[in-house]
Structure 1
Amino acid sequence: MSGTVEGLARAYAKRWLWKVAAPVAVPVFGVLTLLLIPLAVLAAPEASPATASSSCSTGGTGATVAGTELDAVQMGHAQTIVTVASAQGLDPHAATVALATAYQESRFRMLANDGSRPQLTAEQAAVTATSLHFPHDGLGSDHDSVNTFQQRWIAGWGNVAQLMDPVYAAEAFYQRLIEVPNWQIIPLTEAAQAVQVSAYGSAYAHWEPLARELTAVLWPAAEATAADPGGVVAGVCPGLPVASGSWIRPTAGTVTSGYGPRGGALHAGVDIAGPRDAPVYAAADGTVITAACTSTYCDRDGSLSLAGYGNLVELDHGVGLTTRYAHLSAYSVTAGQRVSAGALLGFQGSTGNSTGVHLHLEVRLAGSSVDPVPWLADRGVDLRASDAG
């Protein structure tokens, strides 16, 4: 992912989601209520242990904005677009132009392309189809266009890998937008068309009311993230209602790496891989003893050459028992905070010593790690149960 902005956007994101005081006339508290609609993920306390939901991300939950229903994935992409604008020092109008454009082009979906359009040569089709190897929300079919803005690698927007990065896509849009003469004062649809060169250049105007209201909703969170890119974000997603004393599965996804020796060292936990920015919840009641970046940087994805857990949250559950939640894209708690089982801790990411999006979960007794799978199984939590969110 590109530069420090990836850590700001996460949104994505990823990636996908998507976070209120409005700089224009917007019913702020009503919008907040919509953004924080509770997740229906748990029944009565005596039911089976809760399963974490991935329908919430750093973009927030779904909402209805200017009469348009947007789900969490769409809100996440919208938040990424707005946060990149703020990170680049642009004003809310730039974000409004970008949002109107992206909604017209993709409905805020990260679209891949299978290269099946007849206008492409066999070689162009093969290159375009590599977009399928990156996280995406569906397929587009316009020439070699990909991503939320439907940018074309053949037209010089970047290579396919770059274009399938939601942050890069937004950066590329803004780079061309600010080169448009008088883009701040000409009609929005003209500014968008100057960037996109679309066959339907007048269509962007239709989404201007949506884009303006959505910018008002998302801009404050974008400013806050740009001011503090280290990893902490507001708890924009609701926690899970969990009975006190219970243990739960902390996130959505599939176990991809278990506890035990790996590469000549002990893999002291279990990896659960789900969607980028899938929420991570406290597995049990506890007190936050660590909420920090533990690597050289955490504002973007890490690598195997980088040491540390990346963004890490550690909880103390008493009697010498702790749990660790590592490689987070962002966290939403602070050291010393008391949390209940099901409280939102952060979001799945790939910061630190990591090569892919996942949660690295550890259980420690008196400082020594134990295998989380059987340990949690004894408490009614099956980490290996199939769970895509």
Structure 2
Amino acid sequence: MNAPPDSTPRRKLRLGVLATALTAVLALLCCVGGAGAFFLTELGNEEKDGAALDSGCNLGRRVNITGEMPRFAEYGEGQLRNAAVIIKVGQDRKVPARGWVIALATAMQESALRNLANSTVPASLGLPHEGVGSDHDSLGLFQQRPGWGSVEERMTPSYAAGKFYDKMIKVPDWEQRPLTVVAQRVQVSAFPDAYAKHEELAGRIVDALAGGAARTVQIAGRAVCDAARGARIAASGWTAPLAGGIVSGFRTAERPSHNGVDLAAGKRTPIHAASAGRVLVARCDPDHSGRRDCDRDGWPGKGGCGWFVDILHAGGYITRYCHMIERPHVVPGQMVTAGQVIGLSGTSGNSSGPHLHFEVHVDSDRSSRGAINPVQFMRERGAAISGSE
């Protein structure tokens, strides 16, 4: 429980923790509120308008490539049918849903989900296509070059998707690595960082076409809904930072300046990065008196986030992790993978008990203006925070 760093208005807050189902043990925790403005522009913002998604997670649903397509402002019906083909090939090959998201994001960058020909394709072949690409020898949804197959093969969406998956699954630890890293290992693009900006929308398209599949995680070789936490990464690329239940909610009536949620955790519980990204901040937040003395337990009214980390993710999302027990295990500028341990829980800063204060911000805005409710955000990505507000 904390409040974003560099803020002035702060107040003491009290929380209750349910220790067991039989005996209610009250543990008091305190956090702070408010945050100073700090804006970033790297990675930009993912487009947020789009289709109505499945509210549930239907693991038995097969994608329908001939039926009615959902509506997305960014893509037309033909492009979404191509997306459906990519997903179907992944389903047929039993590739985990994380692979479908990676494949879609790659095709979104390479061709905008259009089956592109080029100026060298003879018209006499009569190959159906949806435009002419700018690269003289690259073809199809993934803009594959001659080494990937014949002209006819590369212009066949199912073949092109299959060749992408063939190479993708050979990338070591591809399910845990950042999407842009995996896509680049397959494509060897001149713009290796460009794929990341499509990840959010690719996940939403997978959800719309395949029954919420981006919310699944692989456990013992089987897909399970809404169980991404710790080292388990959902197909969306997200995971819960730890398994503790919520002991104080987002901007409640009692705590309107509480810009995150507090998760129960004993001292030295590993804290995992919620998604791949770049560390923006990893330091001790000064208390009300301006002191940086985070190497001891905090107390109510002390002020400050204690040892904390901010991470910038694709789509302009920022996650914040407060009250660590010691210096974070990461440094500013470091790239982290989803599920990577970034520190250990504690009670430094404005706190009266061990826990993790967790925030999510949008639009690359670290201030309170960018904060949103992490509960709904994480649930939509299959990384539901356990417990209830």
- Range of TM-score over shorter length: 0.3 to 0.5
Q: TM-score, normalised by structure 2?
A: 0.38
More strand by share: 1
Q: TM-score, normalised by structure 1?
A: 0.38
Which gives a bigger RCO, structure 1 or 2 (Cα 8 Å, sep 6+)? 2
More helix by share: 1
In our comparison, the structure showing a higher alpha carbon Rg is: 2
